[in-house]
């Protein structure tokens, strides 16, 4: 007996319901249902429409020689759409067929609701991932022990490790090796799980390397400006009485016979006064404004002498041995005298700070700073070596900038328990 007369086999309805549950999309639902119901119900097509009832009636009313069964799909009074079953036959759907299809439509309503929520969830997930990855700073989601659950693209770039490999690892251990030359400020935000018992942490790493470099440049410039102000004050307050002292010492020396027992002491006093005058003149160089500096040709040894003389006052106070190995011949150089002096002063201050830290940590140690200048094959090499505690290359930002402006190369090498050497090279001079 035909299905339209006796009604569908319950097993057919059960298989159709299973097919609806297994479907992953609306198109998949339509395809699976038609595969199960085509022969038993003599169906030609099955569609799920989301039009308003008026629009749907207008569209379906144009069909001819087609028997239709349609049922509204809803969950908790919320309309989801309309299911339409069609067959090219004059035979109408029987009462038992209609009951079976209505039963299938109930399952279909819940399936549509599930797919709708799943689609919303996927959209929210996509929006969250897009927002998460759009953040330019490294960001990661971790558990309470800082073990990574998820990272954004910026974190992957900063850590140089694939997101899948980073999962489960400590976020600070992952990002630190790749960020050895970078500086980060860290911000954390606790997040509660769904049960409010499990806790997560959202950790943001803000790269402040460039900001710190700029701050160091500003600080270095401020130090030099302050030193220039001090130098100007010294010129007015010291140079005049110092000049008078030197004049009187020279007059006394002229009046003393060559074999006078005090003559050597007077000469030492005169030399000491001249050294003071040289130090004051060196300090006065820093009072010049940057925009007043022009390229000039000068003896590079004078730049080194000036930087060393300023440093000597500090090294003597701590008993640090400061030695200089200079070329006996003049070293002509074209550039900005003051800027190069600032660069060398920053490097020497860095060396002084490293040695001072060594003496603080290991009282009784012997602090050493050695400055050497070599010329070979139209190249000039200046090296500043110390035996202090390690000092990072980021401490020499201003020096790097000035050396680059003079088309030179600045290299830094450090070894634990040995010290640091800074080498400046100017080619084709």
Could you read off the pLDDT of 238-277 as tens digits, one per residue? 777 888 888 888 889 888 888 888 888 888 888 888 877 7
Beta strands in 102-183 (DSSP E): 139-142, 148-151
Please give the Cα distance from 28 to 49 (Å, whole number).
14
Q: What is the mean pLDDT of residues 42-54?
A: 90
What residues pair up with 206 in beta bridges, in sequence order? 185
Mean pLDDT, the chain, rounded, equals: 84
238, with CB counted inside 10 A (0-12, 13-18, 19+), is middle
Per residue in 367-385, pLDDT (tens digit) is 999 999 998 888 999 999 9
| 8 Å CB contact between 68 and 60 | yes
CB atoms inside a 10 Å sphere around CB 46: 24
Q: How far apart are CA 203 and CA 370, in angstroms?
A: 45
Is 295:319 a contact under the CB 8 Å cutoff?
no
Do 368 and 324 contact (CB within 8 A), yes or no?
Answer: no
CA angle 423, 427, 429 (to 5 degrees): 120
Question: For the chain, which domains are there?
Answer: 3-131 (3.30.450.40), 135-207 (3.30.450.20), 210-287 (1.10.287.130), 295-429 (3.30.565.10)
Q: Report whether 161 contacts 174 (CB < 8 A).
A: yes
* pLDDT in the model for residue 341: 85
**Mean pLDDT, rounded, for 9-37:** 91
Record the pTM. Answer: 0.44
Which pLDDT score is estimated for 228? 64
* pLDDT, position 196: 66
What CA–CA distance (Å, rounded) separates 426 from 247? Answer: 42
Q: Are 108 and 85 in contact (CB under 8 A)?
A: no
Checking if the pLDDT of 402 tops 70, the result is yes
4 pLDDT tier (thresholds 50, 70, 90) = very low
Residue 337, pLDDT score:
85
pLDDT of residue 117 exceeding 80, the answer is yes
Band the pLDDT of 231: cuts 50, 70, 90. low
Q: Is the pLDDT of residue 391 over 60?
A: no
**Mean pLDDT of the region 413-423:** 88
pLDDT digits (tens, 9 = 90+) for 173-215: 888 765 556 788 888 888 876 666 778 999 999 888 888 777 7
- Per-residue pLDDT, 253: 86
pLDDT of residue 194: 65
Instruction: Convert 119-135 to b/e letters by CB count within 10 Å (16 or more is b).
Output: eeeeeeeeeeeeebeee
- In tens, the pLDDT along 275-298 reads 777 767 666 655 554 444 567 889
Q: What is the pLDDT of residue 181?
A: 67
- Say what the pLDDT of residue 368 is: 93
What is the mean predicted confidence (pLDDT) over 139-166?
89
Q: Residue 414 and residue 412: Cα distance in Å, rounded?
A: 7
| Confidence class for position 125, pLDDT limits 50, 70, 90 | confident
Phi first, then psi, for residue 417 (nearest 5°) are 65, 10
DSSP string, 255-320: HS-TT-TTHHHHHHHHHHHHHHHHHHHHHHHTTS-GGG---EEEEHHHHHHHHHHHHHHHHHHHT-
Mean pLDDT over 317-342 rounds to 88
């Amino acid at each position: 007996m035909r299905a339209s007369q006796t009604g569908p086999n319950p097993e057919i309805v059960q298989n159709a319901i299973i097919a609806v549950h297994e479907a992953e999309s609306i198109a998949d639902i339509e395809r699976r249902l038609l595969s199960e119901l085509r022969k038993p119900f003599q169906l030609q097509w099955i569609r799920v429409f989301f039009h308003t009832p008026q629009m749907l009636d207008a569209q379906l009313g144009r069909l001819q020689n087609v028997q239709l069964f349609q049922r509204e799909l809803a969950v908790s009074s919320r309309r989801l759409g309309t299911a339409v079953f069609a067959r090219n036959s004059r035979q109408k759907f029987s009462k038992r067929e209609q009951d079976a299809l209505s039963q299938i439509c109930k399952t279909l309503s819940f399936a549509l609701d599930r797919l709708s929520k799943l689609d919303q969830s996927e959209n929210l997930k996509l929006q969250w991932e897009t927002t998460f990855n759009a953040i330019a700073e490294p960001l990661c989601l971790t558990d309470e022990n800082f073990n990574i659950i998820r990272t954004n693209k910026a974190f992957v770039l900063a850590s140089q490790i694939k997101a899948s490999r980073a999962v489960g690892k400590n976020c600070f251990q992952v990002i630190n090796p790749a960020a050895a030359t970078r500086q980060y400020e860290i911000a954390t935000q606790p997040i509660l799980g769904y049960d409010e018992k499990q806790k997560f942490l959202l950790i943001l790493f803000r790269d402040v390397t460039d900001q710190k470099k700029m701050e160091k440049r500003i600080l270095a410039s401020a130090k030099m400006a302050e030193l220039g102000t001090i130098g100007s004050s010294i010129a007015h307050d010291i140079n005049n009485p110092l000049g008078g002292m030197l004049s009187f010492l020279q007059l006394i020396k002229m009046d003393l016979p060559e074999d006078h027992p005090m003559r050597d002491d007077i000469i030492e006093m005169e030399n000491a006064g001249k050294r003071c005058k040289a130090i004051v003149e060196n300090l006065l160089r820093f009072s010049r404004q940057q925009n007043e500096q022009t390229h000039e040709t000068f003896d590079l040894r004078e730049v080194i002498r000036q930087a060393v003389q300023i440093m000597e006052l500090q090294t003597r106070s701590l008993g640090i041995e400061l030695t200089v190995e200079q070329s006996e011949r003049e070293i002509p150089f074209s550039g900005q005298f003051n800027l190069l002096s600032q660069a060398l002063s920053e490097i020497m201050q860095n060396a002084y700070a490293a040695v001072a830290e060594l003496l603080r940590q290991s009282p009784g140690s012997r602090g050493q700073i050695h400055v050497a200048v070599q010329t070979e094959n139209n190249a000039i090499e200046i090296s500043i070596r110390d035996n202090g505690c390690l000092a990072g290359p980021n401490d020499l930002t201003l020096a790097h900038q000035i050396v680059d402006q003079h088309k030179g190369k600045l290299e830094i090498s450090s070894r634990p328990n040995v010290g640091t050497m800074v080498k400046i090279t100017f080619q084709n001079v």
